[in-house]
């Protein structure tokens, strides 16, 4: 049913797009004067030969990518460069600037992508398609030692389709059947080996408060969820403190317990808690228990229904909102009127968070609930239902906002010097369903070329 809803929404977007029609100049400067109709520019192909690695990759010559528009996506500033050039060397971004102003070294391979745009690879922080997913995370109500990394299958077909849509990094996490499902792994979608694919392990500790775990046992309600989550984190904190005392010379060396090791990363600020949380009351519980009481870096990883009502409080306490895959809230007869007094109202979830003052909003698919390759469509639906039509706000929600949220803003999510060269060549605005991805680079290596074969 969810898939049918998304397909219907996509059809509606195509019939009456939230973004302006191609060639329009009323989308803000990022869109001004550019036609997003798919281009017929030459294929983007950067290849190695028998004598040297490919340009842009480690050990290879430098690569210069030229475009009519580069979406740099940094948090501050305009977030784009007209008539831009991106320099790549040894798998990282070396420099970004305007053509004619940024000098291109003479030995760099130059590729002009024409009217197509350049943007950073997109990031999804709620994915279940990173592998076989044959781990059992529903033995106990809290399983902090369970690891999704044991089930990773690099470059599996679903990840390859993700990459072909411009999604270069995903947080592969356990399910939501229990309150503490286990540890996710942050990984790239293109590389073919585990070591090359994994960005960070653990990527997060997956917590689910409501909207699935109540089915684990009869009578398990919201208060019980809070009790289990608080107790589990408190035990993890005790484990972390014992190790901290030992490292500071104030106690004996503790026994290594895989069930609690993740909390050393969490309380040292080296990983985050990702929370399947939705409905106003439960989103507030995330903020109160995990952020304010326990002091952990935590982010909302659904936030649907009327969770947007807590948007102002979440932003005040630094709890970012990665929203989806349900992008609207509608009254549900016989259950709860999620939108308040107006039974006719359809409330955009991202729009609601924005209206409440939240400014760090991103999007997820919960793949395969929504196919991983439809991540850009989640931003389009959000704009359709009231999220600001400032085009860079939607693009940042696909790139730099999730990168910063997962603590990897120094490596992922924008085209800035020193960051991983995860680069997408696309025919137009990424939140416009008419746009298509023509090429994808991961760590400076071209791993997708649409001229050779589109993956769907």
| pLDDT score for 41 | 67
Report the interhelical angle of 375-384 vs 2-15 (nearest 10°).
60
Element (H, E) at 87: strand 80-89
Q: Tokens representing 425?
A: 């060549």
Superfamily of domain 122-412: Metal-dependent hydrolases (3.20.20.140)
Look up residue 17 and give its DSSP letter: -
Which pLDDT band holds residue 216 (cuts at 50, 70, 90)?
A: confident
189-213 per-position pLDDT tens digit: 999 999 999 999 999 999 999 888 8
φ, ψ dihedrals at 286, nearest 5°: -55, -50
- Does residue 428 register a pLDDT over 70? yes
- Identify the residue with better confidence: 70 or 21: 70
pLDDT at 90: 98
Strand, helix or coil at 350? helix
> Using CA of residue 183, residue 187, residue 192, residue 196, what is the dihedral sign?
negative
Closest by CA to 187, choosing from 214, 147, 159, is 159
Average pLDDT over residues 87-98: 98
Radius of gyration of the chain (CA): 22
Show me where the domains of the chain are located: 2-120+442-449, 122-412
On whether the CB atoms of residues 96 and 84 are closer than 8 A, the answer is: yes
Instruction: For residue 380, give the 3-state DSSP assignment.
Output: helix
pLDDT in tens, 167-190: 999 999 999 999 999 999 999 999
Distance CA 372, CA 309 (A): 27
Can you tell me which residue has the tokens 């709860």? 336
What pLDDT score was predicted for residue 24?
32
Give the pLDDT confidence score for residue 137 in this predicted structure. Answer: 85
The answer to whether 399 touches 190, Cβ cutoff 8 Å, is: no
217 has a pLDDT exceeding 80: no
For residue 356, count other CB atoms closer than 10 A to its CB: 16
Mean of all residue pLDDT scores within the chain = 88
pLDDT digits (tens, 9 = 90+) for 270-315: 999 999 998 899 999 999 999 999 999 999 999 998 899 999 999 9
Least confident piece of the model among 93-97, 215-219, 373-377:
215-219
pLDDT at residue number 22: 32
Q: How far apart are the first and last CA of the chain?
A: 21
d(CA 299, CA 276): 9
pLDDT, greater one: 369 or 52: 369
Instruction: Give the containing element (helix H, strand E) for 95.
Output: strand 92-98
Q: Which residues of 134-148 are buried (b: 16+ CB within 10 A; e: fewer)?
A: ebebbebbbbbebbb
Does pLDDT of 237 surpass 70?
yes
> Per-residue confidence at 48, pLDDT binned at 50, 70, 90?
confident
Q: What are phi and psi of 100, to 5 degrees?
A: 90, -15
Instruction: Flag the least confident range among 1-5, 68-72, 93-97.
Output: 1-5
3-state percent breakdown (helix, strand, coil) of the chain, nearest 5: 30, 25, 50
pLDDT band at 403 (very low <50, low <70, confident <90, very high): very high
* CATH 2.30.40 for the 2-120+442-449 domain, yes or no: yes
Q: Which residue has the higher pLDDT, 278 or 2?
A: 278
Q: What is the pLDDT of residues 104-142, one digit of tens each?
A: 999 999 999 999 999 999 999 999 999 997 788 888 999
More confidently predicted of 389 and 426: 426
pLDDT score of 455: 58
- The phi, psi pair for 63, rounded to 5°, reads -130, 135
What pLDDT score does 341 carry? 56
| pLDDT greater at residue 414 or residue 344 | 414
- Separation between Cα atoms, residue 43 and residue 243, nearest integer Å: 54
pLDDT band at 42 (very low <50, low <70, confident <90, very high): confident
**Coil, strand or helix at 172:** strand
**CA-wise closest residue to 258 among 179, 150, 133:** 150
Please determine, for residue 387, whether its predicted confidence score (pLDDT) is greater than 80. Answer: yes
pTM for this one?
A: 0.90
Q: Is residue 14 pLDDT above 80, yes or no?
A: no
């Amino acid at each position: 049913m969810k898939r049918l809803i998304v397909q219907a929404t996509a059809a509606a977007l195509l019939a009456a797009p939230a973004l302006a029609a191609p060639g329009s100049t009323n989308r803000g400067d990022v869109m001004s004067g550019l036609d997003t109709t798919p281009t017929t520019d030459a294929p983007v192909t950067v290849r190695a030969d028998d004598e040297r690695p490919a340009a842009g990759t480690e050990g290879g010559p430098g690569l210069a990518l030229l475009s009519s528009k580069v979406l740099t996506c940094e948090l501050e500033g305009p977030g784009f460069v007209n008539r831009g050039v991106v320099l790549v060397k040894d798998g990282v971004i070396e420099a970004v600037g305007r053509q004619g102003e940024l000098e291109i070294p003479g030995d760099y391979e130059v590729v002009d992508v024409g009217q197509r745009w350049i943007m950073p690879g997109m990031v999804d922080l709620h994915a279940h398609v990173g592998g076989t997913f044959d781990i059992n995370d529903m033995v106990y109500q809290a399983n902090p030692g369970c690891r999704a990394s044991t089930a990773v299958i690099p470059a599996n077909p679903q990840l390859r389709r993700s990459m072909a849509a411009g999604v270069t990094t995903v947080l592969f996490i356990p399910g939501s059947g229990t309150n503490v499902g286990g540890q996710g792994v942050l990984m790239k979608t293109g590389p073919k080996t585990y070591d090359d694919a994994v960005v960070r392990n653990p990527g997060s500790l997956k917590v689910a408060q409501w909207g699935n775990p109540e089915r684990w046992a009869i009578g398990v309600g919201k208060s019980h969820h809070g009790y289990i989550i608080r107790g589990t984190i408190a035990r993890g904190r005790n484990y972390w403190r014992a190790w901290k005392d030992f490292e500071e010379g104030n106690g004996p060396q503790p026994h290594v317990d895989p069930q609690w090791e993740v909390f050393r990363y969490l309380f040292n600020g080296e990983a985050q808690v990702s929370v399947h949380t939705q409905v106003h009351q439960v989103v507030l519980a995330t903020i109160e228990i995990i952020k304010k009481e326990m002091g952990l870096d935590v982010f909302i990883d659904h936030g649907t229904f009327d969770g947007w009502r807590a948007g102002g409080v979440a932003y005040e306490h630094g709890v970012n909102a990665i929203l989806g895959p349900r992008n609207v809230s509608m009254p549900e007869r016989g259950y709860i009127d999620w939108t308040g007094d107006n039974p006719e109202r359809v409330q955009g979830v991202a729009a609601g968070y924005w209206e409440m003052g939240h400014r760090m909003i991103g999007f997820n698919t919960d793949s395969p609930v929504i196919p991983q390759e439809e991540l850009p469509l989640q931003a389009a639906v959000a704009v359709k239902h009231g999220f600001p039509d400032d085009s860079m706000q939607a693009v940042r929600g696909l790139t730099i906002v999730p990168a910063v949220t997962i603590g990897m803003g120094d490596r992922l999510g924008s085209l800035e010097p020193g960051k991983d060269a995860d680069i997408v060549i696309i025919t137009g605005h990424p939140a416009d369903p008419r746009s298509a991805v023509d090429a994808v680079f991961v760590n400076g290596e071209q791993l997708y070329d649409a001229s050779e074969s589109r993956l769907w």
